[in-house]
């Protein structure tokens, strides 16, 4: 999937929304930066009520996201990094996390910003992590997506 075709997205005003950021701990340099990017977006949107919860790995993102969605949060931001290794483990963790997060979102009606990086190698992940030399900031983008979706849902 290439990034070409991505729209220019403005960070909305979202005062009053409650947001849970759920982040895995694997690849801490990258996940910490994704968390920082998501918090930057929340601050720019005027969100004052947010909580960051860390889970061990990306496989655990869906269950924590489910609890957040059931606990009254208006939006969830899920952040993690999975790097391909020599075994099929990569596919299982990526598929479980991705499908699990989508299920949480469609079964609870609470939007989940998808900030799970699924990369072949470290440089690909670093390039998307929102670090000073990164080209992209997927933590920021995932928070934007969660906020915009929550506001869109409210308007329906
Ligand atoms: C086991 C594992 C491996 C090999 N790689 C990653 C990874 O690259 N990124 C990640 O977020 N988690 C990884 N994990 C941990 C699993 O997500 C999970 O935490 C463990 O299997 C325990 O349930």
**Digit-coded pLDDT (tens) for 62-113:** 999 999 999 999 999 999 999 998 888 999 999 999 999 999 999 999 999 9
What is the DSSP pairing of strand 49-55 with strand 112-119?
unpaired
Note if 89 is an active site residue: yes
Tens of pLDDT, residue by residue over 1-12, are 777 888 889 999
Among residues 102, 111, 103, which one has the least CA distance to residue 153? 111
Output the pTM of the full model.
0.97
Distance 2 CA to ligand 1 centre (A): 25
Which of 82, 92, 126 for mutating ligand 1's site (highest number of atoms within 8 Å of CB)? 82
Sheet with 75-83: list strands edge to edge.
49-55, 18-24, 75-83, 112-119
What is the predicted pLDDT for the residue at 88? 87
Structural domains of the chain, ranges and CATH numbers in brackets: 18-155 (3.40.50.960)
What token pair was written down for 53?
Answer: 């919860």
H helix or E strand, kind and range, residue 114: strand 112-119
* Number of other CB atoms surrounding residue 70 within 10 Å: 11
């Amino acid at each position: 999937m290439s990034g070409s075709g991505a729209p220019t997205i403005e960070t909305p005003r979202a005062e009053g929304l409650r947001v849970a950021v759920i982040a895995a701990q694997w690849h801490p340099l990258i996940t910490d930066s994704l968390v920082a990017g998501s918090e930057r977006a929340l601050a720019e949107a005027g969100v004052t009520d947010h909580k960051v919860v860390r889970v061990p790995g990306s496989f655990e993102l869906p269950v924590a996201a489910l609890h957040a969605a059931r606990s009254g949060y208006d939006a969830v931001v899920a952040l993690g990094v999975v790097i391909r290794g020599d075994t099929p483990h990569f596919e299982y963790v990526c598929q479980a996390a991705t499908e699990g997060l989508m299920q949480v979102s469609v079964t609870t009606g609470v939007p989940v910003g998808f900030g799970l990086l699924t990369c072949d190698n470290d440089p690909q992940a670093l390039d998307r992590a929102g670090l000073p030399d990164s080209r992209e900031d997927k933590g920021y983008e995932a928070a934007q997506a969660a906020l915009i979706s929550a506001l869109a849902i409210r308007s329906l």
